Amino acid sequence: MMSISEFESSSDVPNQASPLDLLAAVPPGLMLVVVKSRSQLPLVRATLTHQLLHASDKKIGLKFPPIKQLFSLYAGSDRQQQYAQANHAAFGPPPPGVEHQFKSFGTRSNYDWCSTEGLPPLLSLINSSDVVETPCWYTVAQIISDSSKVMQVDALAQIRHAAKAAGVYVLVFLVCDEKVDETHFNDLCDEYLEIEECEPDMGFNQAFSIDCYGLRDLNALGLGKTMCNLHFEGMRVTQTYAPFIASDFKTRAMWILRGMGLSFAEIGVKVGMHKSNVLRNLLSLPKPCPIKVADDWLECLDEYLAAGLEKAVKTSPDDDDDGEDEFEEDN
């Protein structure tokens, strides 16, 4: 498995305190995580739950406080509950001293936590949190089709108020199968994240980006937006994290090759593109930093690209081999 997170920087600049060190841990209240596709939800939910359980980990750009308990609230049949627990188990057990419980609510998979069906039981559970070991987390998933529905907005506001009053944390995964104005939700919570599917790095099975809305001003520093790669093997899921560079593998490969010191023309030969198209793809990305890669990374990249395992980078219709003298070749 080879991801950007495993590249060793060759820069001689000494380590400095991260701007994230100036931020306090996530406060009690409501965190919203927008997931753009229902098919992504199981792995995204299990991945972020794993991060909450291992609270000392800052891999997604947020500090999570140490916790005692986490309650994953699921709706659906008994069989669906078993599927959910098996999915979480693939990510490994919680750390010592932390309890992860699953609670069942309703028998329908589209159980509505923002309606009169689901809101009262959820608020009752949050309000009874004095009987659990705090701090603790509650996680639920909610299907959203219209971000402006008054009932949903009011329900999320009530959940946030109850969580703050009880001193607990509630994470709601908002599944937006339809196009909605997701940024509308940022005003309803204490932390807001967006999930987008990415093309995985070599040796990984799935990947997605985690965009912390409140940290977007730090994106240019490589902070606040993270790419998570997932590898499945032996009924276990392993994760790696790295600053987000691009959603497609070929663009990330070009960024890495540039950081290794290759010219635009040399990169173009590697990835099968004209040097002007290489330049166009790299212009919108952070400036590549000097990096080292594993000894066999270039060989693996050649085999990977030759096999056509990556998706083609989208270029405009007039991006062709003309205009070789449009810029000076930068070595």
pLDDT at 12 over 60: no
Q: What is the pLDDT of residue 150?
A: 73
Closest to 73 measured CA to CA, from 131, 119, 134 = 119
Please give the single-letter amino acid code of residue 116. Answer: T
Q: What is the pLDDT of residue 61?
A: 83
Least confident range of 45-54, 73-82, 214-223, 303-312: 303-312
Closest to 190 measured CA to CA, from 15, 16, 26, 8 = 26
Share in percent of the chain as helix, strand, coil (round to 5): 35, 20, 45
Give pLDDT tens digits for 15-40. 566 677 778 888 999 999 999 888 89
Distances (CA, A) of 1 to 121, 197, 229: 44, 19, 10
How many CA within 13 A on the CB side of residue 186?
A: 12
Q: What is the pLDDT of residue 311?
A: 59
Structure tokens at 62: 């947020």
pLDDT at 147 over 80: no
Domain at 22-243: CATH architecture: 3-Layer(aba) Sandwich (3.40)
Closest to 53 measured CA to CA, from 99, 103, 85 = 99
pLDDT-derived band at 91, boundaries 50, 70, 90 = very high
Taking residues 155-170, what's their average pLDDT?
94
Q: Cβ of 51: how many Cβ atoms within 10 Å?
A: 19
- The domain segmentation of the chain, as residue ranges, is 22-243, 248-331
